[in-house]
Every structure is written in structure tokens, then in C-alpha cells.
């Protein structure tokens, strides 16, 4: 089900060669601000020589569900859709990766999800073995990465609650306010909340139908809670959205 524009990096050599369609061969500058914690300068300086800059086109696949996980990535620009295919063939969008996010930190033997670019994406690529060797020698770096993975586990737990006993309106409110918070933490807050994902991506993320997502957004717009604009929405009534999110 994943969209393939280029093969995934092979994992048989100590340092994995990156396909030329991904990388221009340059050392990559890590995203300075993570949604949860910023790596100190010394730790970034230690990591960056191990990295290579990669670029993805819209809809290009970064890695696939159940593929060998020989790489770690730090998103530097753009957004990726993270999803898995359920046994019955349905797609569950587990989340979205934004600038500052790391992918592959769980250190499982295989990726549990697929990752597709929603638009142009750049990221820092790391060979997993080299990355792990460095982290094991840097206690401070290990602590910061544990903090990042801890926040990811919390976000996964919150997602389970979101998919539980909440109405469609509450789910949309939680999604919009959560996205606004992520943008704000990385200094990207603006009047218009960009939605790089489409309505189907949102539906598959929230456990709703695309019709319900469109209908709910339209109703919130009509009631003056949000304003639908090209490429995103404007959050008008933050107080109401916060009340819906807190229920």
C-alpha cells in the first residue's frame, strides 16, 4: 500500500549507502528545535558528522511497514504521514512527522509503520548502528533521546484516548488544537493553521469517515469556531475548541 518512488536504503553494510535519488551527499544540519526538546549544541555537533541530507518528493515513500529498520531520520522540513495497514486491509494513520521529529528511535528490528511525504520533505539520515554507537558513548545525548521517546509514548497514549469515547466534533477539536500546539512549540504559529494532510488522512487518523470530517469542519466553520481557508484553517474561537478538547 505504500507509494514507492525510490528503494529504501539497504541495510547490509556497516555504513548504509543512500540512493542518489534521496541524497545529495552533504552532511545534514539537524533541525534545531524539536517539538519537545532541543538538543544541546555539543550533542548536535557530535551527531551531524554521521548524517546525510536526503530529500523526498511529494508522495514519495521514506520507509515501509515491516521493512528492516536500519536507519534513523530527523525531519528538517515538510511533513510525513505515518500509517499502518490493518489485517483487514484498512489504513490507520498513526500520526504525522513534522520538522524536529525523529523517526526510528524505537530501535525495533523492523519499522512498525510506513512513512510517506505529504509534500517536499528534507531530513537527516543516520545509519542506525553508527547512531547507536555514538549515543551509547554520550550519556547526555542518550538522556535527551529518552526524553523524546517518552513524549512519543505519551502522545500514543493520548491517541488511544482520542479514538475512544469522543464525538467527531471533539476529535476534530483535539486534532486542530494539538496541531496548533506543535506548530507553536517549533516557532511556526501563524494566523492560518496549515493542514499539509488531506481530509482522508485526517479521517484515517481520527477513526472517522471522510464525509464526517468534511461535515464537521463545515459545521464548525458555519458556527464561527474556525474558518476554512486554502491550505488550512484559521482557529477563531479558541475557547470553544479548548472546551471541546478537554471533555
Task: Enumerate domains of the chain plus CATH numbers.
Answer: 41-149 (2.60.120.10), 163-246 (1.10.10.10)
Residue 35's pLDDT is 47
pLDDT at residue number 26: 61
* Distance between CA atoms of residues 22 and 130, nearest Å: 19
Phi, psi (deg, nearest 5) at residue 124: -95, 130
Cα–Cα distance between 232 and 150 in angstroms, integer? Answer: 29
Q: Give pLDDT, residue 229.
A: 96
Q: Is 136 exposed, middle or buried (0-12, 13-18, 19+ CB in 10 A)?
A: exposed
CA dist., res. 72 & res. 74, Å (int): 7
- Distance of alpha carbon 244 from alpha carbon 75, whole angstroms: 31
* Residue 46 contacts residue 141 (beta carbons within 8 Å): yes
Return the pLDDT at 48.
84
pLDDT value for 31 = 62
Convert 66-103 to b/e letters by CB count within 10 Å (16 or more is b): ebbbbbbbbbbebbbbbbbbeeeeebebbbbbbbbbbb
Residue 183: the pLDDT is 83
Left, alpha or beta for 95 (phi > 0: left; psi -120 to 50: alpha)?
left
Short-list 18, 16, 21, CA closest to 6 = 21
Spatial distance between the Cα atoms of 234 and 220, rounded to a whole number of angstroms: 11
Q: What is the pLDDT of residue 37?
A: 53
Where the chain has pLDDT below 70, the residues are 1-27, 29-39, 162, 188-190, 247
Predicted structure pTM score: 0.82
Query: What is the DSSP-derived secondary structure letter of residue 105?
Result: T
pLDDT digits (tens, 9 = 90+) for 108-158: 899 999 999 999 999 999 999 998 898 888 887 787 777 777 777 777 777
Q: Can you point out the beta strands (E) in 98-235? A: 102-103, 114-117, 121-127, 192-194, 226-229, 232-235
Amino acid at each position: 500500500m505504500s507509494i514507492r518512488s525510490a528503494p529504501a536504503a539497504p541495510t547490509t553494510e556497516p555504513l548504509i549507502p543512500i540512493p542518489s535519488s534521496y541524497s545529495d551527499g552533504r552532511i545534514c544540519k539537524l533541525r534545531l528545535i524539536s517539538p519537545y526538546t532541543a538538543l544541546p549544541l555539543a550533542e548536535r555537533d557530535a551527531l551531524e558528522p554521521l548524517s546525510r541530507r536526503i530529500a523526498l518528493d511529494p508522495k514519495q515513500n521514506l520507509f515501509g511497514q515491516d521493512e528492516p529498520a536500519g536507519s534513523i531520520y530527523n525531519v528538517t522540513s515538510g511533513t510525513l504521514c505515518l500509517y499502518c495497514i490493518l489485517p483487514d486491509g484498512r489504513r490507520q494513520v498513526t500520526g504525522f512527522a513534522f520538522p524536529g521529529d525523529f523517526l526510528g528511535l524505537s530501535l525495533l528490528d523492523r519499522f512498525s509503520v510506513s512513512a510517506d511525504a505529504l509534500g517536499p520533505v528534507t531530513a537527516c539520515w543516520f545509519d542506525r548502528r553508527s547512531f547507536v554507537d555514538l549515543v551509547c558513548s554520550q550519556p547526555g545525548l542518550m538522556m535527551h533521546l529518552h526524553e523524546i521517546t517518552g513524549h512519543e509514548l505519551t502522545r500514543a497514549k493520548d491517541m488511544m484516548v482520542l479514538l475512544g469515547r469522543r464525538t467527531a466534533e471533539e476529535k476534530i477539536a483535539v486534532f486542530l488544537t494539538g496541531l496548533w500546539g506543535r506548530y507553536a512549540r517549533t516557532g511556526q504559529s501563524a494566523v492560518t493553521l496549515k493542514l499539509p494532510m488531506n481530509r482522508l488522512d485526517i479521517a484515517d487518523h481520527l477513526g472517522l469517515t471522510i464525509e464526517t470530517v468534511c461535515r464537521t469542519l463545515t459545521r464548525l466553520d458555519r458556527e464561527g469556531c474556525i474558518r476554512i481557508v486554502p491550505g488550512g484553517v484559521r482557529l477563531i474561537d479558541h475557547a470553544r475548541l479548548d472546551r471541546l478538547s478537554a471533555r
